[in-house]
Structure 1
Amino acid sequence: MASGWASDEAVNQQIDSTVNDGVERARQAIGQGESERYCQECGEAIPEARRLALQGVKYCLACQTEMDKQQSNLSLYNRRGSKDSQLR
């Protein structure tokens, strides 16, 4: 299925790129290493229960929630730009 001047493989490349970006974001979200005692964003103490529950936590719950909201807004980017996918 060719679309305009794009090759048949272009659509598959865009889909693969979108999936790869999502996988990379998920890998970066996984905590690694020792948890911080104080939030890197606001400096507030991170509760011990949170530090023990999540490996490599770096932000307090309030800052992490705000960062997650911003990240979810970025993930709505539409690479393909087709009209019907923009209407959803």
Structure 2
Amino acid sequence: MAGGWSKDGDVQQQIDDSVRDELERARRALPQGASARFCHECDEPIPEARRAAVPGVRLCIDCQAERDKRAGAASGFNRRGSKDSQLR
């Protein structure tokens, strides 16, 4: 059931678009090319198992975990477009 100016299915379309955008962002962040033998941040050796599991890896597990913490969640867009969300 749609409300206001939205049509039936608009809410699900917004959810699908948000999920698709986040997946695309995550795919672009994946490393490319040959894996590094040493971490680009701390110069510690990257284990062979990690290099085999993550093609193009550039960071050790500890440095990658720290970078992931700093990155945080994506900001997200307000796709609702409702009058109330635009007035805030």
| Shared fold per TM-score greater than 0.5 | yes
Alignment pair present for 1:8 and 2:12 = no
**Residue 37 of structure 1, CA deviation:** 3.1
- Corresponding residue for 1:47? 46
* Percent of aligned positions that are identical: 43
What TM-score do you get using the length of structure 2 for normalisation?
A: 0.58
Query: 30-39 vs 52-61, which deviates more?
Result: 30-39
Give the secondary structure class of the aligned counterpart of 1:74.
coil
> How many pairs align?
79
Which has the larger Rg?
A: 2
Structure 2 stretches lacking a partner, 5+ long = 81-88
TM-score, normalization: structure 1? 0.58
CA contact (8 A) 2:36 2:46 kept: no
Distance 2:54 2:12 in 1: 36
| Superposition deviation, residue 58 in structure 1 | 1.4
The root-mean-square deviation of aligned C-alpha atoms, in Å, is: 3.1
Q: Deviations over 1:22-71 (max 9, x none)?
A: 3214423544320123434x242342423234211011212211233345
In the TM superposition, residue 9 of structure 1 has moved relative to its aligned partner by 3.7
The CA distance in 1 between the partners of 2:59 and 2:37, in whole Å, is 9
The verdict on how the C-alpha distance between 1:3 and 1:39 changes in structure 2, with shifts beyond 3 A counting, is farther
Residues 34, 6 of structure 1: alpha-carbon distance in 2 compared, 3 angstrom cutoff:
same
